[in-house]
Amino acid sequence: MRFAGYAAIFDRPDSGGDIVRKGAFAGAPAKGVPLFWQHDPAHRIGTIESLREDGRGLRVIGIANVTSGGSPDAELRATVTAILQALRAHGLIEV
């Protein structure tokens, strides 16, 4: 599933209270970044195709391809799909 949205919004506290400033991702690779479930390298669920800062925040375009050991993991796929749909409903990403 291809998606686009913001991984961070500048100058606004996130759910953990962290505030990300413009320039924080200046040294980040622009593409080909692995997408992990819950930041766990053992659970790669896709790839970030594009990563760039704009006036609002860190905009990403990626593909979520939920697999476990090379075969589809239905429960994880359903969870990621539900999260992406909820983010879309709140206007935070485009799917």
pLDDT tens digits, residue range 31-67? 899 988 888 898 888 899 999 999 999 999 999 886 5
Q: In this structure, what are the phi and psi dihedrals at residue 59, rounded to the nearest 5 degrees?
A: -90, 135
Exposure string of 11-31, with b = 16+ CB inside 10 Å and e = fewer, is eeeeeeeeebeeeebeeeeee
pLDDT tens digits, residue range 12-27? 998 889 999 999 999 8
Structure-block tokens of residue 8: 């961070």
**Which of the four pLDDT bands, split at 50, 70 and 90, describes residue 84?**
confident
